C-alpha cells in the first residue's frame, strides 16, 4: 500500500492573544513587531511598548492584531479625550496627542514613499491642519435593533467589527449635528417594524442639518413625521432605494461655500464631498497657490466630483476640462459652473481607469493637471496623463500606498516631486491625506 506524505496543516493564530514588543510604526500608525518569522502589525500599539494583542489575521507572511492590554506604555500615550474611544472604531489614535499623531503619520508615509519610489528625501511642506473636534460635517450612523432585548443601538461600529457602539454624542461631529442621536433614539421606538431602518446619514450643509434615513421597508406618513417631530430644525429625507430621496418636511438642496473663492457648490445628498470643511478650504486655496493657473492655461481636472477644485481653477485659468466618472455628478458640476457664472468650464463623463477615448478633451494641450482620485488611486490614468506632457501635475491623495505606486510612474516618466504636504482631514484617525506637486 502506497502511503503519501501529507504535511500537517499549520495551526492558525487567529483569535489568540499574544504578547508583542513594538519596534516601530507604519504609515497608518500600527505598531510593528515580529512573531517568530512573521512581521506583525498591531493596532493601538506605539513604538517602545509591550502589549497583549488579539490576532485578527494570520497570513503567510504577516499577522494583524488588535491591542487589548498595554503592559509597558510609551511616553507618547495619553488618556483619550472621548469616553467612547475604547469601543468606538471611528477614531483610532485618541491615545496620542494631535501633534504626535501627525508626526507619526507623516514619518510612516515618508518611509513608505521613499521605499516605493527610491527617493532618499521628500520636499515636505507645512501640514494642513484644523480643529481636532467638531470638524465632521458628514457621518454615517449605525442603527441596530436587538430582537431579544427589544431595544435599538444608535452609534458607530466597533473597530473591525459590525457591532454597533451606542453613543449619545461624538466629539468630532459638527455641533450643529449633535441632536441627531437623541432624535433617532426618540423616533425609532415608534416604528411598527423595528427592522425597517438600517442606518442614517447626517450632514451639515449651508448651516442646515440634514438627516437621510435609509429604510428597507415602507414607512407610513405618521412614522416619517415622528422623525421630523423629534428634530424639527433638521431636514429629513427617506432613502428607500439607493440614490432616490424623498423629503419628509422641507425641500432644500444641500450646498456649501468656498468662502475664499466666493463659490457656492450644490450637491445631491449622495454626492461625494469632503467631510472637513475647514481643511477642504485650505486644500483648494493651496491648489491655486501651488499650480498658479493663469489666463493662458488650459487645465485638466480629473476625478472632479461636483467641481470642488474645477470652479476655483476656472476663476483664474483660460479653460478647465473637468472629468468625472459618475454621470449625475458631471451634470451637477456643469450646474455649479453655471450657478457661479463660469462659462470656461467643460464637464465630461469618463471612466479614467480605462483607455481614454478620442474625445475632444483628450485632444487639448494641457499645461496643468489636477487629480483627486478615490482610495484606489489613479492606476492606469497616470500612464495616460504623462502622455499629455503637462508642465505640472498636482496629485491629491487619500491613500498613501496607492499614491506611492502612482508617484513612481510619474517619476519614471521624467517628472520630479517639487512639493508634498500632509493633509490632516480626519484628526484622531490613522488616515493622512496628501497633496503633491510634480513638474517636468
Q: Which residues contact 365 (CB under 8 A, 6 or more apart)?
A: 298, 388
What's the N-to-C CA distance of the chain in angstroms?
71
Which residues are part of the catalytic machinery?
A: 398
Please, are residues 174 and 211 in contact by the beta-carbon 8 Å criterion? no
Question: What is the distance between the alpha carbons of residues 404 and 369, in angstroms, rounded to a whole number?
Answer: 18
Q: Give all strands (DSSP E) within 224-275, no chain letters.
A: 235-241, 244-247, 255-258, 263-266
CA 198 to chain centre: 22
Q: Which residues contact 229 (CB under 8 A, 6 or more apart)?
A: 187
The kind and range of the H/E element at 321 are strand 319-324
Query: Closest Cα to residue 368, out of 302, 434, 283?
Result: 302
Question: What is the distance between the alpha carbons of residues 236 and 211, in angstroms, rounded to a whole number?
Answer: 5
Q: Which residues contact 127 (CB under 8 A, 6 or more apart)?
A: 102, 106, 421, 422, 423, 424
Phi, psi angles (nearest 5°) of residue 66: -115, 125
The 3-class SS string of 42-92 reads: EECCCCCCEEEEEEEEECCCEEEEEEEEEEECCCCECCCCCCCCCCECCCC
Question: What is the distance between the alpha carbons of residues 159 and 88, in angstroms, rounded to a whole number?
Answer: 6
The kind and range of the H/E element at 214 are strand 208-215
Please, are residues 301 and 367 in contact by the beta-carbon 8 Å criterion? no
Instruction: Write down how long the chain is.
Output: 440
CA 368 to chain centre: 25
Coil/strand/helix, residue 196: coil
Query: Closest Cα to residue 248, out of 209, 213, 206?
Result: 213
Amino acid at each position: 500500500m502506497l502511503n503519501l506524505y501529507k504535511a500537517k496543516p499549520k495551526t492558525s493564530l487567529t483569535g489568540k492573544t499574544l504578547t508583542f514588543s513594538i519596534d516601530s510604526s507604519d504609515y497608518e500608525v500600527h505598531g510593528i513587531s515580529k512573531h517568530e518569522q512573521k512581521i506583525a502589525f498591531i493596532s493601538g500599539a506605539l513604538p517602545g511598548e509591550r502589549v497583549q494583542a488579539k490576532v485578527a489575521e494570520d497570513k503567510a507572511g504577516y499577522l494583524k492584531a488588535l491591542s487589548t492590554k498595554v503592559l509597558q506604555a510609551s511616553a507618547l500615550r495619553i488618556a483619550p479625550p472621548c469616553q467612547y474611544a475604547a469601543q468606538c472604531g471611528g477614531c483610532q489614535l485618541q491615545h496620542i496627542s494631535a501633534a504626535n499623531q501627525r508626526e507619526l503619520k507623516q514619518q510612516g508615509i515618508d518611509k513608505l514613499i521613499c521605499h516605493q519610489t527610491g527617493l532618499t528625501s521628500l520636499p515636505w511642506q507645512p501640514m494642513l491642519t484644523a480643529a481636532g473636534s467638531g470638524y465632521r460635517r458628514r457621518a454615517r450612523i449605525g442603527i441596530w435593533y436587538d430582537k431579544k432585548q427589544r431595544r435599538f443601538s444608535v452609534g458607530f461600529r466597533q473597530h473591525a467589527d459590525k457591532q454597533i457602539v451606542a453613543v449619545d454624542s461624538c466629539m468630532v461631529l459638527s455641533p450643529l449635528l449633535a441632536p441627531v442621536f437623541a432624535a433617532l433614539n426618540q423616533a425609532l421606538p415608534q416604528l411598527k417594524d423595528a427592522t425597517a431602518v438600517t442606518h442614517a446619514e447626517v450632514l451639515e450643509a449651508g448651516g442646515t442639518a440634514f438627516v437621510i434615513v435609509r429604510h428597507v421597508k415602507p414607512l407610513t406618513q405618521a412614522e416619517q413625521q415622528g422623525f421630523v417631530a423629534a428634530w424639527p430644525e433638521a431636514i429629513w429625507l427617506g432613502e428607500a432605494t439607493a440614490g432616490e430621496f424623498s423629503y419628509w418636511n422641507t425641500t432644500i438642496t444641500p450646498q456649501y461655500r468656498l468662502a475664499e473663492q466666493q463659490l457656492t457648490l450644490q450637491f445631491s445628498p449622495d454626492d461625494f464631498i469632503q467631510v472637513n470643511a475647514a481643511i477642504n478650504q485650505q486644500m483648494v486655496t493651496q491648489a491655486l497657490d501651488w499650480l498658479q493657473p493663469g489666463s493662458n492655461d488650459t487645465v485638466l481636472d480629473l476625478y472632479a466630483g461636483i467641481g470642488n477644485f474645477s470652479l476655483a481653477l476656472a476663476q483664474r485659468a483660460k479653460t478647465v476640462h473637468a472629468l468625472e466618472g459618475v454621470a449625475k455628478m458631471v451634470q451637477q458640476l456643469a450646474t455649479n459652473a453655471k450657478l457661479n457664472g463660469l462659462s470656461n468650464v467643460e464637464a465630461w463623463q469618463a471612466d479614467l481607469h480605462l483607455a481614454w477615448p478620442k474625445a475632444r478633451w483628450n485632444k487639448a494641450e494641457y499645461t496643468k493637471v489636477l487629480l483627486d482620485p478615490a482610495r484606489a488611486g489613479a492606476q492606469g490614468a497616470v500612464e495616460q496623463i504623462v502622455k499629455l506632457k503637462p508642465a505640472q501635475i498636482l496629485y491629491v491623495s487619500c491613500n498613501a500606498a496607492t499614491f506611492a505606486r502612482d508617484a513612481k510612474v510619474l517619476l519614471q516618466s521624467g517628472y520630479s516631486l517639487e512639493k508634498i504636504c500632509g493633509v490632516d482631514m480626519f484628526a484622531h484617525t490613522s488616515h493622512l491625506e496628501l497633496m503633491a506637486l510634480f513638474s517636468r
